[in-house]
Amino acid sequence: MLRDDLIFLRALEAEDLDFLYALENDSSLWHVSDTVTPISRYTLQKYLDNAGADFEEVRQLRLVICAVADQRALGTVDLFDFEPRHQRAGVGIAVLPHERKRGYARSALKLLATYARQTLHLHQLYCTINADNSASQKLFEQVGFQFVGARKDWLRTAKGWQDVVEYQCLLDI
């Protein structure tokens, strides 16, 4: 179920340490993840050691996006801030810069939404996107997310305050 003709989603493995280290320490992605400092291999190793914990317990899930053709890791897709009572979770996605604009992120979000609805029985997913990130906005709209609002001066950056936009996808419609 977590596969289409282009990609498949899989659980984190111990062998993902180098991949995660490169992805998490790519400073060009920090502005979308509220990260401002590098992360150590030690910290990532501890994270990987606990990556198999139950979604209901830790309230987050990270899956690796892999190419069907050669099984290489392309990025990650996350569910976070899982709220069991309200059956919702936030969504985050990161694709390696040299792997973008090939449909991988769109496929990953479609697969994740199906998994969230059919297996995790979630009612909705949501995401927050920098207002100036039109590529991400378009991506989420293509997979059924709808614009629901904006937050002014939400992110403090080196360039000053930035607005964000909020998107939501109701899964059982």
Q: What is the CATH number of the domain that holds 83?
A: 3.40.630.30
- The confidence band for 173, taking pLDDT boundaries of 50, 70 and 90, is low
Residue 96 lies in a domain: yes
In this structure, of 5-9, 143-147, 153-157, 163-167, the range with the lowest mean pLDDT score is 153-157
Residue 132 lies in a domain: no
- Assess contact for 123 and 170: CB atoms under 8 A: yes
- Assess contact for 142 and 169: CB atoms under 8 A: no
Specify the number of domains making up the chain. 1
Residue 137 lies in a domain: no
Residue 158 lies in a domain: no
- The confidence band for 149, taking pLDDT boundaries of 50, 70 and 90, is very high
Q: What is the pLDDT of residues 106-139, one digit of tens each?
A: 999 999 999 999 999 999 999 999 999 999 999 9
pLDDT confidence of residue 148? 98
Residue 165 lies in a domain: no
Q: Does residue 168 have a pLDDT over 90?
A: yes
pLDDT confidence of residue 99? 93
Closest C-alpha to 94, from 112, 110, 75: 75
Q: Does residue 102 have a pLDDT over 70?
A: yes
pLDDT confidence of residue 27? 77
Q: Does residue 15 have a pLDDT over 80?
A: yes
pLDDT confidence of residue 12? 92
Residue 108 lies in a domain: yes
pLDDT confidence of residue 25? 86
Q: What b-and-e string marks burial along 33-47, b requiring 16 or more CB atoms within 10 Å of the CB?
A: eeeeeeeeeeebeee
Owning domain of residue 77: 7-123
Per the structure block, which two tokens stand in for 16?
């993902």
Residue 141 lies in a domain: no
Q: What is the pLDDT of residues 26-81, one digit of tens each?
A: 877 776 666 778 889 888 888 887 777 777 777 889 999 999 999 999 999 999 99
Residue 24 lies in a domain: yes
